[in-house]
Amino acid sequence: MKSISKHQKQKNRLIKCLLFTVLSLITAAALIIFYFYTYQAFTEQDYTLVYISTLVYSIPIFFIGVYVYISLKEYYKKIDNDYLQTQETAAKRQEQLLIHAREQMQQRMNAALSQLNELEHLLRSGQEKEACQLCSKLSSYYQKTRYRHYCRNDIVDVILHTKKEECDLLHIAFTCHILLPEQMNLPAPVLISLFVNLLNNGIEGCSSSGQESLFLKLSVNYKGDYLLLHMENAKNPATVFSHSSTKADTFSHGLGLLILEEIAGQRDGSCHWQDRQTSFVSDIMLRYR
């Protein structure tokens, strides 16, 4: 919903600029005609000349307006198509993630059942030493596979776990170091939009990088009243960053960066994007209280 809102605001702003330009030109033409009518002594030839001049002046304005309108219409039609395609891709990725999570859960349940059956067999046959060794292995295994908290903020923690699973599915090496302040005056929608868009950009960059070694590194810290986010991810060396996107034909990625810039700007912060050929670096700073 945030993406759609941002897109609609940009569209309305451009349309207003177009209307303002056309109305300004028409007003200027009307003022010129009024001046000549009021302060000049006109002959019939002068009136004819004014009418012809007005007609000649209005025709280019009309065609310019029509051209800009058609161009904007085609441009936003393309953006809408790109957005729908992005949504479809995201839906397919989430479906794959869900299937992968179910498969992993089933494998863990089968492994646990097998190990418990083996433990029961050892205990019934009086092999207490082997049973103790198996219990020790089970304990170590479940310590490694149990839920690991990345931070104390539940919202950010869930997002990080979800994106970690997505990275595992796409064979992206995901590492993060999160240090958040105890209290933040950032609403839940802002936190979700901030971390989801940032991590989605990183995952998108890795997926389209064409490299064998994929990585995404995220670190979050704070200093004074400001939250500092730093992320580096793999990137296609052949793709050149052009401020709004590292992929000129990827609407979602460019829109994600614009949303991050808007969030930071609304909270006295800033964003810095850096293209390092094989990697892309994102630095975001914003006030959290």
* Domain extents in the chain: 2-89, 154-287
Q: Residue 8 pLDDT more than 60? A: no
Mean of pLDDT values over 231-248: 74
More confident residue, 219 or 66: 219
What are 32-61's pLDDT values in tens digits? 666 665 555 555 555 566 666 666 666 777
Q: What was the pLDDT predicted at 248?
A: 43
DSSP 210-274: --SS-EEEEEEEEETTEEEEEEEEE--TTPPP-SS-SSTT-HHHHHHHHHHHHHHHHTT-EEEEE
Q: What was the pLDDT predicted at 249?
A: 41
Q: Residue 283 pLDDT more than 80? A: yes
What tokens were used for 249?
Answer: 């034909």
In terms of average pLDDT, the best of 6-20, 41-55, 267-281 is 267-281
Class of domain 154-287: alpha beta
Do 69 and 21 contact (CB within 8 A), yes or no? no
Q: What is the pTM of this model?
A: 0.58
What is the average pLDDT value for the chain, to the nearest integer? Answer: 77
Q: What was the pLDDT predicted at 173?
A: 95
Q: What was the pLDDT predicted at 5?
A: 47
Orientation angle between helical segments 154-169 and 44-124, nearest 10 degrees: 80
Q: Residue 244 pLDDT more than 60? A: no
Q: What was the pLDDT predicted at 93?
A: 67
Whole-number Å distance between alpha carbons of 15 and 69: 8
* Per-residue confidence band for 288, with pLDDT thresholds at 50, 70 and 90: very high
DSSP-assigned beta bridge partners for residue 263: none
**Range of weakest confidence among 12-16, 57-61, 101-105, 177-181:** 12-16
Helices (H), 125-226: 128-145, 154-169, 188-207
226-234 and 279-287 strand pairing? antiparallel
Q: What was the pLDDT predicted at 252?
A: 40
Entry field: residues in the chain: 289
Question: How far lies 135's CA from each of 104, 107, 130, in Å?
Answer: 22, 19, 9
Q: Residue 218 pLDDT more than 60? A: yes
How many CA atoms, within 13 angstroms, populate the side-chain half-sphere of residue 205?
A: 33
Closest CA to 225 of 269, 153, 287, 283: 287
Q: Residue 209 pLDDT more than 70? A: yes
* Per-residue confidence band for 119, with pLDDT thresholds at 50, 70 and 90: confident
Whole-number Å distance between alpha carbons of 130 and 136: 10
Q: Residue 228 pLDDT more than 90? A: yes
Give percent above pLDDT 70 in the chain.
Answer: 64
